[in-house]
Structure 1
Amino acid sequence: MAQAAKKITLSPSRDIAFDKLVLSQSNVRRIKAGVSIEELAEDIARRGLLQSLNVRPVMNAEGVETGKFEIPAGGRRFQALSLLVKQKRLAKFAPVPCIVREVSTAILAEDDSLAENMQRVALHPLDQFRAFLALREKGQSDEEIAAAFFVAPAVVKQRMRLASVAPALLEVYAEDAMTLEQLMAFTVNPDHARQIQVWDAVKSSWSKEPFQIRRMLTEASVRASDRRAVFVGVSAYEDAGGTVLRDLFQGDDGGWLEEPALLDRLVSERLQVEAEAIAAEGWKWIEISVDLPYGYSHGMRRLFGEAVPMTEDEVAAHAAHLAEYRQLEEEHSGQDDLPEDISERLAALELAMEGLEQRPMVYEADDVARAGVFVSLDREGGLSVSRGFVRVEDEAPVIADGDCAMSDVAGQGGDGAVSASHLGSAGTVITSGGQPLEALAEDEDDGALKPLPERLLVELTAHRTLALREAVGRSPDVALTLLLVKLVNDTFRTAGASGSCLEASVREVYLSTQAPDLKDSVVARSVDDRQASWEADLPLGDDAVLWDYLTALDQASRLALLAHCVSFGINAVHEKPNPYGAGISASGLTRRMAQSDILANAVGLDMVEAGWEPTVETYLGRVPKARILDAVREAKGEGTAQLLDHLKKAEMAVEAERLLKGSGWLPEVLRRIDLDAGTGAGEGEAVEDTLEPVEDIALPDFLMADLPSEPAAMMAAE
């Protein structure tokens, strides 16, 4: 006979006078977070107590109830009530709704406190948006809603912007198929059809970052000279139904492609076709991406195959090209300027010899079976294929004594770990962004000098971080001092130290958000070259052999290697502070950037020498007009800046790029504080001292047309 289920008995509830309640020492909440006690008290005063307190009778030494009740769960509500009593807004004997635990219960007070705090579920942002929307529809303003829920009006306005997102995308977000940051990115364009079109294009794509969504939503057209258009071909784009806008009155560089989403889809499909062709070679995996970020192969071992030797015909062709090249050089050795046909012939011969010298590589079959390939686009729109990268998890195991298998390479796998994905024709796993294959809107410009956009700050400081790595990598003394600072902090500031008796490590910071030109910069190539040089010399794989090798190195080489390793731990990237969760706090970010300034001064960092310059893409096209004028004013003087003041932003950015080229001007975030402090004009100094004569500046025709006939008179009138 089946036994009846035991019925659950809930704890009774009753009103208890406030002066009979005391705060329990069993309450697990110790850290202040969230709504303050003062704000909670105001909310209780406005709407009353929404949730009862969890209490238990207080027993004396003989186990007899004292008439007092302790509160293990609900301590913040009790403190808010205490504040109201202190303010004489609540009677000291006012009844308080309570859930009373029996004395005989086996549940500990700490158990109740922990359960109440851990079993809460924060309100989903979409539910918050719908609640705010309902309150607004019932007549409450954004300020009233913000005041009622103790949030800034900006938070309410931000949530209300979700009303401009297509309902279908709201449902996608509700199902956790996209992040809140991705959802907010769709608010830049209120066209629901365009929003859905962009989501369909990116949901299975290599990049679903919010900035990518904004770029696609705000990008109305793509130049035919764009590398994506070059890779696909304008004719293929038109055959797929795309339209091209052409200017009939002036050169348009091939026109503008009006459907960026279609172009992105064609690029993705073409890359997949190329990857499937390469899969026939037998590689284990292929990762395809329009852009490969800097450091994409971090943690992987590079295979170096053997070049296929030239055939007899190729050797003969190369010799003939070389002989003709040397003959032409000898015939025209005394001429300063070569005839055009001769220059073209020499260039053609160089290209032909280069094509013969760049031999395909042959790899061992076992290596191919465990290695992979990166397929992407180069800067000119051509196909870029990088073969022979072995991930840590794919390394061949080594059988040690006792038949115990262990990996011959230690460490964690890279960011490109392969999961079950699309299979190529040869069983190769083809992924895009680690997943299976299947521009920011401009703010209103009121002329005020606003802070730099968050993403631009991240990109600029990523450039600075990489330049610092390169500089520290060739400055052993600075690197040693930097390492000593880290060790001294760990030794003498024990609050920040943890772990074993000695922990000193370098963890490379992956630059996940960065400018697209970062990996092709001069300093990036310098860092990569130095890395490759050390990799070629170091006997990696056997710690005993490596120990002997390092011991035998001279002191200068040891310091150079130390500097190189320390440089990979530098992180001078700006990021948004997070005071409650993962990431960096506001004070931590301030200290990081201040220390990076000290480091920049120590290594004599010059971002101009590092190759950064202000262009439309890197800075000028992404800041308000006031910032553009401020840059020209600093570099060229007030007079030159006034000449640009009447232009639209796009024209102003292009002209400012021309004026600033070669000037050495840098945004504040990229300047060295020691040089900046010594060269900047102080307040009250005569501005005229920094002006260049207007007539000495080469200006385009459309600006010259706006100049008065007597520039001196214009300057005097100012």
Structure 2
Amino acid sequence: MAKATPKIVLSASRDIPFDKLFLSDSNVRRVKNGVTIEDLADDIERRGLLHGLNARPEVDDDGNETGRFGIPAGGRRYSALAILVKRKRMDKTCPVPCIVKSASDPILAEEDSLAENSLREPLHPLDEFRGMKLLHDKGEREQAIAAHFRVTPAVVTQRLRLASVSPKLHEVYAAGDMTLDQLMAFTVSEDHARQEQLWKQLDHSSNRSPAFIREKLTEDMVPVSDRRVLFVGLPAYLAAGGTVPTRDLFEPDDGGWLSDPALLDGLVAEKLDVEAAAIKAEGWKWVAALVDLPYGYDEDYREIDATREPPTEADETRIAELRAEADALEEQWAGSGDVPPEVEARVTAIDVELAKLSRGWFTYDPQEQARAGVFIGLETDGTLYIDRGWVRPEDEPEEEPDETGDGEALAETSSDEPAGDDAHSVPANSEPATVPGLAVECGDDDEDVIKPLPDRLVAELTASRTVALQDAFAQNPSVAFAAVLHAMVLTTFYQVRTETCLELSVNRVYFPFQAPGLRESAAVKAVEERHAGWKARLPKSDKDAWDAIQQLDGADQAALFAHCAAYAVNAQWEPVPKHGGGRISAHGVARRVEHANVLARAVGFDMVAAGWRPTVENYLGRVTKPRILEAVAEGTEPQKAGLIDHLKKGDMAREAERLLTDSGWLPEPLRMAEVEPVLPIADMPVDGGDAEALPAFLGDEGEDEQDSAYAIAAE
């Protein structure tokens, strides 16, 4: 009969006076790591000793116990107790609980020391989060918890937020099927049902990144950095009953998100009405206040002249005070890497007020002001954009009749498109015309048919292309000159103008269809900055303009010529009535776009280089699912399109935007069409001998570059 395995016997626990203990040479810990001994001493002083020490009796050379005990395991606790004795917070004879093993124990003391430190397992992060939440639920303040565990209050707040995520997601995280970064992303929402729903949706998504989770959980919210929030002010939103912004404690969020867009829009409308009333009281006939003024809002309006009055003495005094305050703040915070937000806000406010005061004041002729109005919009930083002094066509004063009776107004004629089949033709891929101003929304079409792009979308895309092309055109004077010359030759010698995209008078091009935010695009800002620079250089009166232009050198004349001509570039496709009768035929639109491609090639234009990227707002959210999949397949790989073909349209569009980032993909209306090369002008025979030399202001460019520019633009 086999003998039973003997039961283990645990070593006895004894209270040993502290002065009888010493740190054994068998303790394997040599390198300081983790919580410092001082911090551990503070913790033992507060809550007492949580774990006893491991001790072995000391023996002399004859094997007799000396009455002292070495500590092979628990050396940090022993050192912390020694600090408390030194602080006189503990007597040196105070009993210390110890687990005492025999001096002749077969297990080496070094093994005990190594085992105690290597076999221990730290808390799972989830247990730490839950533990802090239990303390908080029992009345402990966040600052107290932070002090007890030697962390900052912000860390405690983060742990508590993680503990507040749905328990079902906690289980997923504990099982190792969710990363900590993903769990942190879910903290931007307190809705457990929404958290669980989104996690289930991620099973069918190739994108499970923390950024995507945050985006999905905040898609119905308004960022605090939105221009509307900055305009109204967060305190006003909260005072009106809005909830405290949702914050992301783990990523920069620019203040978080607001959950009540309707309330915010109401507050914006009210404040805009107040601002508009105050400005109208200055003596204007009307005020148009919009959150987002479109590009070309001043179409067909006449700007009235303003007289600038220099700053008053009171203004100069205020300017000096503001500059002194700004200098003091700069000196106080110079070299500091962490400037408080309120200081930065004050510096910004000073800059804004200084700029306003330094400009002085503008006055207008009372009669002109009484028939003019003001445009108001919101800048991206929430400040008001105010553009005063615009007269509508219907508000222009009536002209006095000719008292002699000899002069009758001459009827203006227009060079309309020639009648014929072309005037009523419609491109094969044309869709029904849309009503300007109404958004065209594509349904969630699951059919595998790639339908033509909606009319409005094509018009919006080509509007963006036109503005960017105008900017590129303005930077290439030689091409601009050749293009204008080409248009003039067409109208002078051939009585046609449909072969060119230039609207020459020069007539500035405006867009009945345009995507939101076009006025703030890089191309628009570049054009407007260039325009402001020339306006400052030119004389105020048009009577003096000729002499001023003659004083410009060749390069400046060329640059000014290109800038003016750029406003006439029209590369926008637009829908036309199916049965004709509109201001332009389908044939005319097609030829305009065709020549715009020639012009784009001449200036080396590229919409990708101009900064256009496919997004949910400007393309992907406006087309059908087959179009989205087509874009991903063309811009990346066909396999990637297959990864998202099961998603709903909204999710598919957002995932496609991520996949197409930096891909360089463009929808068909924005692509560069291939153009057949033509015979350079320099190689064409010219009647009457040698060709006339180029204008003087173009003479400083290389001959090859000139010939190439003329050849392409003259197609």
TM-score normalised to structure 2 length:
0.49
Q: Which one has a bigger Cα radius of gyration? A: 2
